[in-house]
Amino acid sequence: MVGLNNYVHLFTKDKVFFKAMTNTIMYMFISNGLGIILALFLAALLYEKIPGRGTFKVIFFLPNLVLPVAFGLMMRPVFGSENFGLINQFIGIFGIKPVYWLEDANVTIWVLIFTNLWFVGACTVIFLAAISGQPPSLYEAAEIDGAGWWKKFLNITLPLLTPVIFFQVIMGLISGLQIFDIPAALSAMGGNTTGLMGKQNSLATLVYYLYIKAFRYWKMGSASSIGWVLFILGFILTFIIVTFMRRSKKLYMGY
């Protein structure tokens, strides 16, 4: 009965839980979507015979070697506050008013979402490997028919990359569910004094909230209920995506 009360309290009275749920879902879908689109575009460009192709591959992948918590700590002086921060100093040159990147609850979640694009290099390398494995004859035939880069990308590259895209979507959603270190570094662990999980809990995510419940307030029952919610969400999302992928494959194969 006590265990059931944890779930009742979580879904009826815990406003921070719903804030963490909203932030996690926004991060999962928006950040994952933007990351896959950008990675696809970069991989398609790198597949072309452009000068310095190998150097660009290394540059795009290098940020993935930085630990997320270290990256979060690096971003604090970049975003900073009203009178501090590289971005505010830069936009101030053009007469733009400073933005409260980490103090405005409506802006902070977007900072978290866009910082994930820093790690797009790993996804780019996977897409590039998949594109490199596609038959060159398809592209040669398309070029003979007069197809440009964009038509080749839409009609050849994208359809053949469907299984890899689905894999990246699943991995991105699971990774998004587990986001913890970057918001933790940007908020309390990064020296922010506006709140434990950012101002008005603007940086709260499900895993971060689980950590706070378990290891700051020692409410292990509430923390375990959040953990089960995470597991169920991950299972449902994976099941939906895999089912959709199988149905799409059957339609594509004609059976």
CB 46 within 8 A of CB 57: yes
pLDDT range class, residue 253, cuts 50, 70, 90: very low
pTM over 0.85: no
Tens of pLDDT, residue by residue over 228-248, are: 988 888 888 888 877 877 776
CA distance linking residue 126 with residue 68, whole number of Å: 20
Report the pLDDT value the prediction gives residue 213, as an integer from 0 to 100: 87
Tens of pLDDT, residue by residue over 96-152, are: 888 888 777 788 888 888 888 888 888 888 898 888 888 888 887 887 877 777 888
pLDDT reading at 1 higher than 70: no
Choose among 186, 178, 175: nearest CA to 70.
186
CA distance linking residue 37 with residue 114, whole number of Å: 13
Report the pLDDT value the prediction gives residue 195, as an integer from 0 to 100: 52
Choose among 185, 168, 169: nearest CA to 125.
168
Domains contained in the chain, number? 1
Tens of pLDDT, residue by residue over 162-212, are: 888 888 888 888 888 888 888 888 875 444 444 577 777 888 899 999 988
Report the pLDDT value the prediction gives residue 119, as an integer from 0 to 100: 86
Choose among 188, 189, 127: nearest CA to 158.
127
Report the pLDDT value the prediction gives residue 254, as an integer from 0 to 100: 45
* CATH code assigned at 159: 1.10.3720.10
How far from 66 is each of 32, 74, 151, CA to CA, in Å? 19, 10, 36
pLDDT reading at 62 higher than 80: yes
Report the pLDDT value the prediction gives residue 59, as an integer from 0 to 100: 83
Structure tokens at 155: 């009609």
Q: For residue 128, give its domain range.
A: 2-253
H or E element in which residue 170 lies: helix 162-177
Report the pLDDT value the prediction gives residue 193, as an integer from 0 to 100: 43
